[in-house]
Structure 1
């Protein structure tokens, strides 16, 4: 790692943003940043599917997926935090990636949401109220499916607690259009994670693998 630029599993990342602190930079040195997601992509995500990523952050997974996917696949990434957009765009350019970036926050029903920015960029969320709140355009799964004509796609979701809303309110669209789900469940207690996984199971999704104490999961839609 040299200065504010790092090579991480074949991806070049600019970490110069003041949103990225020393602890977060250290996760690249110790090779722990997004480790479960990277491993699940390598093992399970097909190269020939379109991808929708909700919660792109600084773009490591976005760029990693771009390198993983075939040239025929389309990739759309959604990020709510306005302070991370320039870093996401720089990292896209550093890796000659061509995914489309959409500035929006995931929400199942609202047209606009209050997004709370905290010092730890990994934890900024529509679910928090303990930081600087900004109004952000909202994007539901249904909106994304219609906007990009998605079907049989891979959903990658790291939305800091809004994943429960996603599963609860948009399960029909997940079942009808989504072939694989790579999702991080944030800890609101086991009572939240269990029912969400059960809803996915009842909708036809099989849990293929789980990492990080069962919070990072890869599901395949057996009805697709």
Structure 2
């Protein structure tokens, strides 16, 4: 069995428990995170300090570091099994400068504690939503997004949290963040959810950047006051 795959310069260990047939097909066809890796080089600067919510298998963080030269990144992932795998992906790519936190990030209007996270196959279908059917339920610590951003001094936020974006920015404090790169999940939150998400970002001083956005991956930039 092949011990690893290489996708856009990133080495990914071939662990069948994580890299299931559906995930493998996506990787081999270079469809996996295609919109994101197309968009990221258009706005990422090596000096950016990046927090990634919904880090998946660690591919995006590895791409940022190994291909785009980012020196400061932090991964936040709710699935504890994926957190372990992210560490292996980072190790396979010679990375030791990216922290991985098993957590759910939330806005300041919500309550700390633990969240029920529902694990599904393929892993990218996992979410905080108990519907549809899931493989298992795990309790995950909650952290305020604003605190995580402030402590890391992040200026860039990447978000792929399977519908959680609908309320993530409600009453949020994005501190010093200048760029938010967001995957929207229309099938999960519908048009009203997308409007709520975009309205919240607009209220926080962010504008949609059409030049970078493509499909479900959209970039918002903070705009200054006139």
Matches of 1:81 and 1:17, distance apart in 2 = 17
Task: Spell out, residue by residue over 1:18-60, the C-alpha distance to the aligned partner (whole angstroms, 9 max, x if none).
Answer: 1332121111121110011111111112221100011111010
TM-superposed deviation, 1:181: 0.6
Matches of 1:105 and 1:17, distance apart in 2 = 26
Residues 68 and 140 (structure 1), Cα distance of their counterparts in 2 relative to 1, 3 Å cut:
farther
Q: Mind listing any 5+ residue stretches in structure 1 that lack a counterpart?
A: none
Q: Which residue of 2 aligns with 1:119?
A: 121
Q: 1:133 aligns with which of 119, 131, 137?
A: 137
Q: 1:211 aligns with which of 200, 210, 214?
A: 214
Alignment TM-score, normalising by the size of structure 2: 0.87
Judge conservation of contact 1:104–1:136 (CA < 8 Å) in 2. yes
Q: State the SS of the aligned residue for 2:148.
A: helix
Structure 1 runs of 4+ aligned residues shifted over 4 Å read 68-71
Matches of 1:35 and 1:165, distance apart in 2 = 25
Judge conservation of contact 2:41–2:68 (CA < 8 Å) in 1. no
Task: Spell out, residue by residue over 1:141-199, the C-alpha distance to the aligned partner (whole angstroms, 9 max, x if none).
Answer: 12202432x15x100011111112212231xx22x421101111112111111232233
Q: Mind listing any 5+ residue stretches in structure 2 that lack a counterpart?
A: none
Q: 2:169 aligns with which of 160, 167, 170?
A: 167
Judge conservation of contact 1:51–1:156 (CA < 8 Å) in 2. yes
Judge conservation of contact 2:127–2:161 (CA < 8 Å) in 1. yes
Q: Which residue of 2 aligns with 1:87?
A: 85
Q: Which residue of 2 aligns with 1:157?
A: 159
TM-superposed deviation, 1:17: 4.0
CA RMSD of aligned residues (A): 1.9
Paired residues, number: 215
